Amino acid sequence: MRLDKFLGDQNIGTRKQIREYVKNGRCKVNGVVASKADIHIDPVKDMIAFDDVELTYSRFHYYMLNKPAGVVSSTKDGRTMTVIDILKDENVKDLSPCGRLDIDTEGLLLITDDGELIHRLLSPKKHVDKVYEVHMAKELTEADISRLEEGVDIGDKKSDGSADKTLPAKVEKAPADEEGNPVILLTIREGRFHQVKRMLEAVGNEVVFLRRLSMGSLMLDEELEPGQYRPLSEEEINNLKK
């Protein structure tokens, strides 16, 4: 692999910037200052350092974002800020959100350029668990909880015209919020359009606030404020790929 390709994949800069960095002696290969940006290196065996910080090669990039309300889960939008706009300083091409959260929904969003992982996590056949913190307009009855856990009709239809109910879910009661609204933790295994809101509407209730807490093995970092993000750890990446 060329050195400039390696450095570009690590978000060091553009190809032009990297040539300047190497020219200024900021990059070392096995402890020796690199002479040219286009020299070939072994990303596994060679020790590459930039500004004396050793770099570990990674083909793909993975970020955990605590999505704030008012931001859309897309790569481009002519009118509204997107989740990719929040990560613009990372200088990573082809980043995409893994799934979508409504514009008024907060919480965990995986953003990556690993298209294969996105496909696996979103595949309907995989049934990846997603946990939401749901603040509601009123308490759920035991009958409501049973209906949600068994699967409810949210208006979707199968090819034969019959109701396509949601898959069985899990409901866990949580303490009420500061405004006194009842709260549940709702685990679903699908990702239909406005699914959580439509499920609550199906039992005569209304979502007043919604936050996603986890997706598969990945859990929202409690230290991330809305709008903040961080790279995933190697352990988090490996667990997701399992």
Give me the active site residues, please: 102
CA dist., res. 4 & res. 17, Å (int)? 10
Q: Could you tell me if 91 and 84 are in contact, meaning their C-beta atoms sit under 8 angstroms apart? A: no
User: What's the 3-state SS for 157-186?
Assistant: ECCCCCECCCCCCEEEEECCCCCCCCEEEE
What are the structure tokens assigned to 151, written together?
């699967």
Q: Could you tell me if 203 and 83 are in contact, meaning their C-beta atoms sit under 8 angstroms apart? A: no
Sign for the pseudo-dihedral over CA of 23, 25, 26, 29: positive
